[in-house]
Every structure is written in structure tokens, then in C-alpha cells.
Amino acid sequence: MPRRLPEKTRTAKRKMRRRGSKKRYRPSKPFLTKAPIWKGQQMEVVVDDIGSRGDGIARMHNYMIFIPGGKVGERVHVKIVSVGGKFAVAERIT
């Protein structure tokens, strides 16, 4: 049977576990203020990595571009379909 805590400890407020400034963990401004690419842009990229869903990942100025069906090391001509805050999705141009 578990030991009962005294009333004083049961009602005490819990302190934050993380030490340091909140700004470090919740920055007030985003890392990238504006995306380095735009919708409809065409470019040639090299696939660096594979994502968890099997898409190829290319990077431009630390901005990720997902390319469906891309393979690592492949040089691809793509057209940007959608742009988000942290990543973009592109399709191949043949």
C-alpha cells in the first residue's frame, strides 16, 4: 500500500522543471522569416535524404523540399507545388 503524503505536500504548487529562459524553448519569432522559394518556381535540386514516408528531401538554405519518389543522390528538375513555414512540396518535371 502506498504511503500517504502529508497535506502540505499534496497541495503545494509544482515548479517548472526546465531551467533557463522560456525564450530559448519558445522563440518569439520563427527561425525562417520568409521562405527562400515560392509556389510555381522551377529549379534543379539534388536529393540529400529520404523522409519517413519515402519522399526524397532536398535542402536549399536550410529549407526542406519534399519530392515524392526521389532517391538519394539523384539530380531532379522540380516545380514547387506548395510552400509552408518550414518546408515545401515539389513535383518532378520530365
Q: Which domain holds residue 90?
A: 35-94
Top-confidence residue, 49 or 85: 49
- Residue 28 maps to a domain: no
Q: How confident is the model at residue 23 (pLDDT cuts 50, 70, 90)?
A: low
- Residue 56 maps to a domain: yes
Q: Read off the pTM.
A: 0.65
- Residue 69 maps to a domain: yes
- Residue 5 maps to a domain: no
Task: List the CATH number of the domain containing 75.
Answer: 2.40.50.140
The number of folded domains in the chain is 1
- Residue 71 maps to a domain: yes
Question: How crowded is the C-beta side of 45, counted as CA atoms within 13 Å?
Answer: 30
Residue 81's contacts (CB-CB under 8 Å, 6 or more residues apart) are 39, 88, 89, 90, 91
- Residue 58 maps to a domain: yes
Q: What is the pLDDT of residues 44-81, one digit of tens each?
A: 999 999 999 999 999 998 899 999 999 999 999 999 99
- Residue 59 maps to a domain: yes
Question: Average pLDDT, stretch 29-48?
Answer: 85
- Residue 60 maps to a domain: yes
Residue 41's contacts (CB-CB under 8 Å, 6 or more residues apart) are 79, 80
